[in-house]
Amino acid sequence: MKTHIAPIDVHAPKRLWSLIQVLFDGGPGESSLAIGRWDNKPVLAMRWNGEDDAPLGNPQSRGLPTWFIVPDQYWRQILESAPFNAIHTDALTLARNFLELKQVYFLSLCPNPACPQYRDLVLHTLRPYEIESVLEQLQNDEFKLYHIICDHFWIPLGGEKARIIALLRAAWENYCRQASRASAV
């Protein structure tokens, strides 16, 4: 009798999830870690495998085993944590490249006079695959910057907008060049 559903066999919901690689399978009663696509975006996913009395594991939906999609701000910490030290180096490299842990960083000044860090630098990050849509949002004055200290959003305008657009265009061109080189190898 099967004690749990193997993570390699967890494919629900098929409309949104596609498994790329199981990075770690802890076996019955333990957790698993995988990379895949959720709504076609690269993600890190986790699940508890289940055991004799609960073979579907957790999470599950409508009687089918599923994966928990890990918020991207936790990817690095999870991949580098002690429980997953057993992941083969090549699998970790695959995961990092697939998830594009490389980021684009840029700074802006907090425009909120009520903020204790008013006019101080605020660090912003984007993943390379986000740049193209952010550039479009910037052109349409729809992209908002955020400062966690004062919980304030703002739309960059004028010189700040032009500077961010120039920086992101250069980052996008560099990303496309690197991707082109990598696919040529």
**Domain tally, the chain:** 2
Does 21 map to a domain?
yes
Q: What is the pTM of this model?
A: 0.61
Q: Are residues 23 and 76 in the same domain?
A: yes
Q: 99, 124, 154: which is the final residue of a domain?
A: 99
Q: Are residues 130 and 82 in the same domain?
A: no
Q: Are residues 144 and 129 in the same domain?
A: yes
Report d(CA 85, CA 92) in Å as an integer: 10
DSSP 7-46: GGG--BSTTTEEEEEEEEE--TTSEEEEEEEETTEEEEEE
Does 1 map to a domain?
no
Q: Are residues 84 and 113 in the same domain?
A: no
Does 44 map to a domain?
yes
Cα within 13 Å of Cα(2), Cβ side: 9
CB 172 within 8 A of CB 135: yes
List per-residue pLDDT tens for the chain, 185 residues long. 567 889 999 999 999 999 999 999 999 999 999 999 998 888 999 999 989 888 899 999 999 999 999 998 899 899 988 877 778 888 888 888 888 767 788 999 999 999 999 999 999 988 888 899 999 999 999 999 999 999 999 999 999 999 999 999 998 888 788 767 756 65
Does 82 map to a domain?
yes
Please give the residue range of the domain that contains residue 167: 104-184
Q: Are residues 17 and 55 in the same domain?
A: yes
Q: 82, 99, 116: which is the final residue of a domain?
A: 99
64-80 residues labelled b (16+ CB within 10 A) or e (exposed): ebbbebbeeeebeeebe
Report d(CA 3, CA 167) in Å as an integer: 53
φ, ψ of residue 168 to 5 degrees: the values are: -70, -35
Q: Are residues 116 and 170 in the same domain?
A: yes
Supply the pLDDT for residue 46. Answer: 96
Q: 57, 75, 99: which is the final residue of a domain?
A: 99
Report d(CA 164, CA 110) in Å as an integer: 14
